[in-house]
Amino acid sequence: MPRAGSAPPILDFSVFYSNNASAKEKLVADVRNCCRHNGFFQITGHNVPLELQQKIMEWNKRFFDLSLEEKMTVSKDTTNIWNRGYELLHSQILEEGTLPELKEGFYIGDEISKSHPYFVNKKLNSGPNMWPDASIMPNVEDFKSTALDYYSQVVALAKDILKVLALTLDLDEGWFNEFATGAVATMRLLHYPTQPPDSPQKLTRGIGAHTDFGTITLLLQDRVAGLQVYDYATKEWLDVKPTLGAFVVNLGNLMMRWTNDKYISNLHRVINVSGEERYSIPVFFSGNPDFVVECLPNCRKEGEEAKYSPITVEQAVLDGYAYSYGRVEKFKKGAAKSDIVVQASELAVV
């Protein structure tokens, strides 16, 4: 476990909070295997209540049900200097050679003010959240408190998962504490309209094949499938079917870098051909922006070189953003259009 060709397993995280040492050891071993295999696993038995997951998912739907004009009142491009608020359909291309993505989003982070040092110093695009006006969204206070409660509980869970990850690497359980203090994490509500039947199959993506830029991502899916993880052994895309109450956890590029590629930050994508609207909520845990990530002590042998040079969390994550959003700019200017068909058909994995 896990075998080649099998979807990310569901692990019972409740043993982390128990006194059962052998069950905890088994959890650590299972997580370690997943990290080495494809960097994906799912967890149930965590402390985030099902009702809270369902409530934020309801708000997710209600937000995207607003008219375009209403959503544009909290557009992230009206500020264009920090990464909060509404993002239009077709704003990203994460997979080279595919069309702008069939998804819209709403970015939320820590509820900070304009005097917060992370905003003043433009740390990792942090800034005040943008909430719709009550004239547009009655009961917006409930949206806000639900979103912030959910956000803080998922961030707390991410910190517990980091403790398990430390144990998988034979490090002290608190090894990531300093990195996790003052951490930046970003949550996005996502809506994937169903793919129109006449859209080009090979070029259309809800989100193109990509790896996440940060450290770990905790994803909540609603009941509509569409998420797929690439399996290198079988060269197949594996469906990650939604499971009530479960979080999908995956490692990001920073964790791969940190472990000298011992752990995998894996390709995944969303294609929504279900005929239904799909909603999901990833929380991207980046870490303290100023923390310097360098090869962990026991992830290379004596005398062996680290594959990557040390980098701050901030630099690593911003590089990832520039890469994906830059591609859309290129596309809009028409520069990439002639390449699209060729590149997409060359992909071994479409």
Ligand X SMILES: O=C(O)CCC(=O)C(=O)O
Binding site for ligand X (CB under 6 A): 190, 207, 212, 219, 221, 227, 268, 270, 280, 282
Beta strand pairing call for 104-108 and 184-192: antiparallel
- In the bound state with Fe ion, the residue whose beta carbon lies nearer, of 255 and 295, is 255
The interface partner of residue 221, options being Fe ion, ligand X, none and the CB cut-off 5 to 8 Å by kind, is: ligand X
- Kindly state the smallest distance separating residue 310's Cβ from Fe ion, in Å: 25
Q: Strand, coil or helix: what is 308?
A: coil
- In the bound state with ligand X, the residue whose beta carbon lies nearer, of 28 and 207, is 207
- Kindly state the smallest distance separating residue 291's Cβ from ligand X, in Å: 21
Contact 284, 214 (CB under 8 A): yes
What is the residue-wise DSSP string for 164-221? HHHHHTT--TTTTHHHHTT-EEEEEEEEEPPPPTTS-TTT--SEEEE--SSSEEEEEE
The interface partner of residue 255, options being Fe ion, ligand X, none and the CB cut-off 5 to 8 Å by kind, is: none
- Kindly state the smallest distance separating residue 273's Cβ from ligand X, in Å: 14
- Kindly state the smallest distance separating residue 214's Cβ from ligand X, in Å: 9
- Kindly state the smallest distance separating residue 98's Cβ from ligand X, in Å: 14
Distance CA 39, CA 264 (A): 5
Distance CA 152, CA 224 (A): 25
Distance CA 230, CA 349 (A): 8
What token pair was written down for 309?
């040079």
Distance CA 268, CA 94 (A): 10
Those residues whose C-beta lies under 8 Å from the C-beta of residue 191, and which sit 6 or more positions away, are 60, 61, 64, 103, 104, 105, 277, 278, 279
The interface partner of residue 227, options being Fe ion, ligand X, none and the CB cut-off 5 to 8 Å by kind, is: ligand X
Distance CA 159, CA 170 (A): 17
- Kindly state the smallest distance separating residue 147's Cβ from ligand X, in Å: 16
Residue nearest to ligand X as judged by C-beta position: 280
The interface partner of residue 270, options being Fe ion, ligand X, none and the CB cut-off 5 to 8 Å by kind, is: ligand X
Between residue 205 and residue 244, which ones bind Fe ion under the rule CB under 5 A? 212
The interface partner of residue 280, options being ligand X, Fe ion, none and the CB cut-off 5 to 8 Å by kind, is: ligand X
The interface partner of residue 195, options being ligand X, Fe ion, none and the CB cut-off 5 to 8 Å by kind, is: none
Residue 282 φ then ψ, to 5°: -85, 145
- Kindly state the smallest distance separating residue 120's Cβ from ligand X, in Å: 28
- In the bound state with ligand X, the residue whose beta carbon lies nearer, of 179 and 284, is 284
The interface partner of residue 137, options being ligand X, Fe ion, none and the CB cut-off 5 to 8 Å by kind, is: none
In sign, the C-alpha dihedral spanning 300, 303, 304, 308 is positive
- In the bound state with ligand X, the residue whose beta carbon lies nearer, of 17 and 232, is 232
Residues of this chain that interact with Fe ion (CB under 5 A) are 212
